[in-house]
Homo-oligomer: A and B are copies of this chain.
Amino acid sequence: MLNDRKKKILQLIIEDYISTAEPVGSRTIARKYDLGLSPATIRNEMSDLELLGYLEQPHTSAGRVPSAQAYRLYVDNLIEPGALSDNERALINGWFTERRRSLDEIFQSTAKILSRMTQNVSMVLANRDAGARFRYMKFLPLDEHHAILCIITDDGNVDNCVVEIPLGMRPEELDYLAGKISRLLEGRELANISEELLNAVHTNISEDKILFTSLVQSIRKLRNKHMEQRVFLGGTKQLLNQPEFRDVEKVKNLLGILEEERVVRDLLKAGEDSGLKITIGSENKFSGIQDCSMVQATYRLNGQIVGTMAVLGPTRMEYGKVITVMDYLHKYLKTMFETEHK
């Protein structure tokens, strides 16, 4: 479609615009990059590129700005995947080791790093071990009326909640109950502990109806809690570094959207299927961010979606850098998870 020279010029314009945020003129290209062409020639080419829909002019006497179509071509064909500098790599490693006690903190760190490295807002959607299996449950006595119900999954996670128990129930009885239920649910993926199964548990055992209703309720609650997807945001501050958000109104607008966890969740879920997804400007169907671009990467472990991370920013985004960073983070997380889960 475009000859090599046009492509080259377009690429330079895009990259110049990405780094300066200023409309790019023919002279700039001629001066900054040694193409062996005069401004006039470049001007002619730019004129063509505009006609083809790749460039736009904010006004007659400004330079030109890449269109969404140009960015699309750029990320699909022109982009050259870069590598992180040793410095950056060290920075990332440092941030990660700073805090990483729990899964949540790892995801939070991921969001933070992503935003720091890309100077944009980052979002991480963590699927809490959807594949975890029920191992067993156990009661820990608390006082005469209460015990703590613990559910242990095969990845070594414990979820617990307080349940009410009938007065005078002995520990052995509780152990017996726990064992009975455990045998029914053992080895099940939490995701597959359906309502039907819970109901089956309920009817199957008839020792103490009232206690059981509350127990099944608690199991359900813990199951949901364990499976809950969590959203982590990063870089609402970096946002302010982007010239596009010099205007406070725009910032408010975007922050308003990000504040709604539900919206962010939907946004991320929408792009979860493909490994790497880049949405440019109005390609995105969510209102309010149609002048933004989003780069999203979804990661799996044994086929299961572990999480999805995304960077949201102006269409003028360092796509190459973003992809490189995400790639590095992916590898990092991968080894981290694999050693963790042995």
Give A contacts to B, CB under 8 Å: 101, 135, 138, 140, 142, 146, 148, 150, 152, 156, 158, 160, 162, 225, 236-237, 240-241, 245-246, 248, 251-252, 255-256, 259
Contact = CB atoms under 8 A, between A and B. Distances in A.
A152 B148 contact: yes
- The secondary structure that dominates the A interface is mixed
Contacts of A237: 252, 255-256, 259
Contacts of A150: 140, 150, 158
A252 B236 contact: no
Contacts of A252: 237, 240-241
20 contacts: A135-B142, A138-B140, A142-B152, A142-B156, A148-B152, A148-B158, A150-B150, A150-B158, A156-B162, A160-B160, A236-B236, A236-B255, A237-B252, A237-B255, A237-B256, A237-B259, A240-B252, A241-B252, A245-B248, A251-B251
A251 B256 contact: no
A194 to B, nearest CB: 22
A274 to B, nearest CB: 31
How many chain copies?
A: 2
A101 B252 CA distance: 29
A140 B160 contact: no
Contacts of A225: 101
A162 B101 CA distance: 12
Contacts of A246: 248
Nearest to A247: B248
A131 B120 CA distance: 42
Contacts of A152: 140, 142, 148
- Interface-central residue, A135, A156, A245, A256, by most chain B CB under 10 Å: A156
A212 to B, nearest CB: 21
A225 B101 CA distance: 10
A236 to B, nearest CB: 7
B160 A158 contact: yes
A255 to B, nearest CB: 4
A145 B207 CA distance: 35
Nearest to A254: B237
B158 A140 contact: yes
Nearest to A148: B158
Contact of A148 (B156, B240, B255, B256): B156
Contact of A240 (B135, B142, B160, B251): B251
A255 B246 CA distance: 15
